[in-house]
Structure 1
Amino acid sequence: MSAFETLWRMALTLAISAGGGLIAEAAGLPAGLLMGGALSVTIASLIGVPVAMPRRLRDVGFVLVGLSMGASVARDSLALIPQWPVTMAGLIIELVIIVWATGYMLKRLFGLDSGTAYLSSFPGHLSFIMGIASAGVGNSRQIMVIQTIRVMMLTVCVPIGALFLPSGAGFETAAEPMVALPRLAAVAAACVVAGWIFVRLKVPAGYVLGAMAAATLAKLTGNFDGSLPQPMLTVTFILMGALIGSRFAGITYAEFRQASIGGLIATAMTVGIVTAIAAASTLLVDMPFGQIWLGLAPGALEGMGALGIALGYDTAFIAAHHVTRLLLLSFAIPLVVWLVGRQERRLDLSMRSEK
């Protein structure tokens, strides 16, 4: 393939991702830029459009994803946890049950490998998960379909469910100012270096995990305050949408059908687990069921926060739980990936010894 053809395919892929993302964003879909871009490039791949993402551009996307994940960690999130010990405990229990139960189901019922099953089971951090999957952990195409079905189902189920939730008392939050550009440049440079080191150390998804580690460390030590510029986030989601969608080229109908069914079952299990934990929490704390449910729901923070405002719930409670969920997932996802890798290496050694 000539350099011109590679550049043309790359430009076409990015244009499709940007167009689909902007349409989804305008329609108000959660994570619209990412999901819309990924779905549009996926459809283009399935109908035979020549899409492509060069390796270097892919690595840039990985670093941006890791940087964005680290920037989303709130410095005061750890201080907020003791204010709601029962529901925070419920959140931890919920995440463990969701990841274990849905991962086990996807392995046993659908025969997915451990990496694909457990990355498909995580309720959140989609761009981080797909960054790891796209770097070689699990089957990224199946993970994308299952996670897409999960997000789509939650998009439908959460607003409908909210119609049956009682109202509470209002609460408002303030927007965070944008991070200073010199500080952003310094942290981004540290993310690139950390990602390069992780790759050299042969850490899975090295650029993603290295960049996230550097950005998270800067955030928790007070050296990375503020929100990321919106254009930077837009570029990040367009790149990831293009990368995710381009990996669907060549997928069979049987693969798509299997992953879709798994996604529907996983979503139903997740909603059921959240509802059960929220109901149990109401027996121990004096809070509205709806407020607890929105705080524990595996949907996007902005969507749950908007519903909380509309229903008059304490959005500080909802935000704290969602930030904590993302913080827990930031550490749980790499841990599970490491455990899965260790298990696969043990199985490989066992099979070799038997031969």
Structure 2
Amino acid sequence: MPVVPVLNALASGLFGVAAFHLLALPLPWLLGPVTSCLIAALLGVPLGGVKPVNAAMRTVLGVAVGATLTPAVLATFPSMWPTLILMPVFILAIGVAGVPYFRRLCGYDFPTAYYAAMPGGLQDMVVFGEEAGGNVRALSLIHATRVLVIVVALPFLLKGIWDADLDRPPGVPLTTVPPSELALMVFVAGFGWWAARKVGLFGATILGPMILA
């Protein structure tokens, strides 16, 4: 495994965190690395990650997404029927417009064009696109740019217009979570990943833990 790209990525991420803290910008641990790594990638700096660590972090994402779909959330679905009906139409419209754009104007192959056009989490689309044979670097840059525009603009709007408090971290402190629940989440992440790989599930690192959670 090349060490220099990994060190470049870590250094870029830490620089982004420090810069956002210094400038008192919102969400420094999220937006700082996203911004600095995107700029570094656009400048041609070789960036890389440690695959086992990347995969392990994706299982955390899968557990986090799956655990939010509780019976209480499912009970609210009937009240959201207009949105639920429009979502497939919205995704279809994006696909019809986006896939030909990336195929014909940008010259990408179909897997890259498809996963570049589809809305979704950055990690999800990159993982699925990679497993489908797409261009990982192109997918990462496209979705990082999309996320950067949306996620960077939103905190500034929330802070500037509505004076929202963005210093409060989401969720609960780790120290308040019972050890039994932490152990259960670790088990769900590991076993869900393993089981999904065993059955050949696409995007096993995310979908396996998500389904099990």
TM-score by length of 2: 0.69
**CA distance in structure 2 between the partners assigned to 1:176 and 1:45 by the alignment:** 31
Asked whether the 8 Å contact 2:38–2:144 carries over to 1, the reply is no
Cα displacement (A) at 1:45 = 4.9
1:205 equivalent in structure 2 = 203
Partner residue of 1:148 out of 141, 144, 148: 144
Q: Report the Cα distance in structure 2 between the residues aligned to 1:81 and 1:130, rounded to whole angstroms.
A: 28
- How far does residue 182 in structure 1 lie from its aligned partner after superposition? 2.1
- Say whether residues 1:20 and 2:40 are aligned partners: no
CA distance in 2, matches of 1:74, 1:24: 35
The structure whose RCO (Cα within 8 Å, separation 6+) is larger is 1
Contact 1:63–1:192 at 8 Å: present in 2 too? yes
Could you say which residue in structure 2 is the equivalent of 1:61?
57
Residues 18 and 189 (structure 1), Cα distance of their counterparts in 2 relative to 1, 3 Å cut? farther
DSSP-derived class of the 1:193 partner: helix
> Is residue 128 of structure 1 aligned with residue 124 of structure 2?
yes
User: Which residue type is aligned with residue 190 of structure 1?
Assistant: V
Q: For residue 111 of structure 1, what is the aligned residue in structure 2?
A: 107
Report if the CA contact (8 A) 1:65-1:128 is conserved: no
| One-letter amino acid matched to 2:193 | G
Q: CA deviation at 1:156?
A: 7.7
Contact 2:102–2:113, Cα closer than 8 Å, also in 1: yes
Counterpart of 2:187 (choices 183, 186, 189) is 189
1:102 to 98, 104, 112: 98
* TM-aligned CA deviation for residue 48 of structure 1: 6.4
Q: Aligned with 1:138: secondary structure?
A: coil
Identity %: 25
Cα drift, residue 180 of structure 1: 3.4
Matches for 1:130-279 after TM superposition, within 5 Å? 130-134=126-130, 137-154=133-150, 177=172, 179-215=177-213
CA contact (8 A) 1:69 1:128 kept: no
C-alpha displacement at 1:27, in angstroms? 1.8
Q: How many residue pairs get matched?
A: 199
Which residue type is aligned with residue 53 of structure 2? L
Q: Which residue of 2 aligns with 1:310?
A: none
1:176 is displaced (CA, Å) by: 5.7
| TM-score using structure 1 length | 0.45
Contact 2:111/2:132 (<8 A) preserved: no
Check conservation: 1:187, 1:214, Cα contact below 8 A.
no
**Cα distance per residue 1:298-331 (max 9 Å; x no partner):** xxxxxxxxxxxxxxxxxxxxxxxxxxxxxxxxxx
Q: What is the one-letter code of the residue matched to 1:14?
A: L
1:145/1:79 Cα in 2 relative to 1: closer, same or farther (>3 Å)? same
Match of 1:88 in 2: 84
8 A Cα contact 1:100 1:118, kept in partner: no
**Equivalents in 1 of 2:57, 2:171: separation in Å?**
24
